[in-house]
């Protein structure tokens, strides 16, 4: 079977699809992964066919700045809460518009397609091509009474009315604010029947034949009010590529003394990376720890006087790095907490936006780390205290051992591939 995997987003969206693609290929399928151009080498090195969805939008590219007045804010926090989600969905269709034809070519020739949350054109393309499509998400987006939409989690808890409302708000914004782009795409490019604004969400629900969630039920139990077509498979992770060789300076730094603390905020874009770097360096000095920083999209750079204690590097495979450090400080994007838990590694989560507060709350609830520290509230003393607690609390160590063993026993890519094969076989039988 020819399978198209369409992953719109950052590494946290693409990496699980590479893991799933490799497993599908091992099971005899032909796999094409469509993603932003910057992930081409990762996909090709994994032995999969790559299809470009275009370049990274300028607003997400890292830039350094020194605006001290904004030293406690991260650019990504603009997308927090209801107002932030309105802002996100107001500009997202404009980013989508230039890439619409790329979604068609990504799916052409495929027998089935799996797509990420932001790949909104895919169900319409699948309808035009007459192929089944399925959703594959690392974050729960299916409405439930059990917990609020992860994109709307607040520091304080919520009641049942707000829990239900968060899903209605998010899906309403998604389809209302992207309606113009998708309606014209259906009519002018795909030649499909017109849909009203109100019918767009219903159309997606009918077109998407199943949803796969790429996280573990040991971390977020599956709600009992989800339909049978919604499956939680376990994390879609993979070992580091066989060809991976760590940079010599990284290997040397890791071997020079006690294990350092790993720091990385992934695709979060800092407003004032110099101020954030100074805060982090002060926290590490307070606890007497070295650090290895993955600069990511944030542009983190330490000051010259701290470089003997801090090494800045590019992206490193979590599965390789995390077992070699003392703790991990990260933003809490869906895949990173899973990788840390699997490695039985202590986490200090610093949420910036999106679903990160949700994962920070889950890690703390499991006893696998201290309460998360919002990026707006981050101080050197607060971070140092959280790091000290994570390193010294035996209860955290015991909880990590329990959850880590559970995650290591799971094979998310295989469970997802098997479920996908069952669904596609059923679709062929009903065609």
Q: pLDDT of 217-265, one tens digit each?
A: 999 999 999 999 999 999 999 988 777 888 999 999 999 888 999 998 8
Inter-CA distances, 237 with 116, 304, 339, 408, Å: 16, 36, 8, 10
Which of 76 and 369 is assigned the larger pLDDT? 369
Taking alpha carbons only, the member of 153, 147, 71 closest to residue 349 is 153
Place of tokens 């499956």: 231
Q: What is the pLDDT of residues 321-365, one digit of tens each?
A: 999 999 999 988 888 999 999 999 999 999 988 899 999 999 999
Other residues' Cβ atoms within 10 Å of the Cβ of residue 256: 11
- Domain 2-57+66-235+411-430 identical in fold to domain 248-409: yes
Nearest residue to 114 via CA among 40, 24, 38: 24
- How confident is the model over 393-419, as a mean pLDDT? 95
> Can you tell me the distance from the alpha carbon of 116 to that of 213, in angstroms, rounded to the nearest whole number?
10
Are 417 and 20 in contact by the 8 Å Cβ rule? The answer is: yes
pLDDT of residue 306 exceeding 90: no
| CATH architecture entry for 248-409 | 3-Layer(aba) Sandwich (3.40)
Tell me: pLDDT of 407 over 90. yes
Mean pLDDT, the chain, integer = 88
Candidate from 103-112, 134-143, 192-201 with smallest mean pLDDT? 192-201
**Confidence check: pLDDT of 280 > 90:** no
All structural domains of the chain with their residue ranges:
2-57+66-235+411-430, 248-409
Confidence check: pLDDT of 14 > 50: yes
- C-alpha to C-alpha distances, 44 to 14, 32, 51, 66, nearest whole angstrom: 13, 10, 10, 37
pLDDT band at residue 300 under the 50/70/90 scheme: low
- Cα–Cα distances in angstroms (integers) from residue 170 to residues 142, 173, 277, 354, in the given order: 11, 5, 33, 12
| CB neighbour list of residue 188: distance below 8 Å, 6 or more residues apart | none
Do residues 299 and 265 make contact, with C-beta atoms less than 8 angstroms apart? Answer: no
Domain 2-57+66-235+411-430 has CATH 3.90.1570.30: no
Cα 185 from chain centroid (whole Å): 27
**Global confidence as pTM:** 0.90
pLDDT tens-digit series, residues 145-174: 999 999 988 656 667 777 888 999 998 898
Please give the Cα distance from 431 to 428 (Å, whole number).
5
């Amino acid at each position: 079977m020819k399978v198209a995997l369409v992953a719109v987003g950052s590494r946290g969206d693409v990496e699980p699809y590479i893991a799933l693609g490799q497993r599908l290929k091992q099971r005899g399928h032909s796999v094409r992964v469509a993603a932003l151009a910057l992930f081409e080498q990762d996909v090709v090195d994994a032995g999969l066919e790559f299809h470009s969805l275009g370049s990274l939008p300028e607003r997400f590219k890292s830039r350094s700045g020194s605006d001290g007045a904004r030293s406690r804010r991260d650019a990504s926090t603009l997308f927090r809460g209801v107002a932030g989600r309105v802002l996100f969905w107001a500009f997202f269709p404009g980013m989508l518009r230039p890439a619409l034809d790329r979604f068609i070519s990504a799916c052409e020739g495929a027998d089935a397609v799996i797509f990420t949350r932001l790949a909104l054109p895919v169900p319409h393309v699948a309808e035009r091509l007459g192929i089944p499509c399925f959703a594959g998400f690392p974050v729960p987006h299916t409405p439930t009474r059990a917990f609020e939409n992860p994109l709307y989690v607040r520091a304080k808890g919520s009641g049942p009315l707000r829990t239900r409302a968060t899903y209605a708000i998010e899906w309403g914004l998604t389809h209302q604010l992207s309606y113009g782009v998708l309606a014209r795409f259906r009519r002018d490019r795909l030649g499909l029947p017109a849909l009203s604004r109100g019918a767009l969400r219903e159309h997606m629900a009918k077109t998407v034949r199943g949803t796969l969630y790429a996280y573990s039920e040991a971390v977020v139990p599956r709600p009992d009010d989800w339909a049978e077509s919604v499956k939680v498979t376990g994390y879609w992770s993979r070992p580091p590529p066989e060809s991976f060789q760590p940079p010599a300076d990284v290997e040397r730094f890791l071997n020079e003394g006690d294990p350092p603390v790993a720091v990385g905020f992934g695709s979060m874009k800092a407003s004032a990376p110099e101020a954030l770097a100074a805060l982090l360096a002060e926290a590490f000095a307070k606890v007497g720890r070295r650090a290895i920083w993955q600069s990511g999209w944030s542009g983190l750079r330490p000051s010259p006087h701290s470089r003997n204690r801090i090494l800045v590097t590019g992206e490193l495979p979590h599965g390789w790095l995390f077992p070699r450090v003392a703790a991990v400080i990260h933003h809490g994007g869906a895949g990173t907490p899973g990788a840390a838990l699997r490695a039985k590694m202590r986490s200090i989560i610093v949420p910036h936006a999106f679903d990160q507060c949700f994962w920070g709350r889950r890690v703390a609830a499991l006893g696998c780390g201290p309460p998360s520290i919002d990026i707006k509230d981050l101080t050197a003393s607060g971070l140092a205290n959280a790091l000290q607690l994570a390193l010294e609390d035996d209860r955290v160590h015991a909880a990590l051992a329990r959850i880590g063993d559970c995650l290591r026993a799971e094979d998310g890519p295989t469970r997802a591939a098997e479920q996908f094969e069952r669904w596609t076989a059923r679709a062929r039988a009903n065609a």
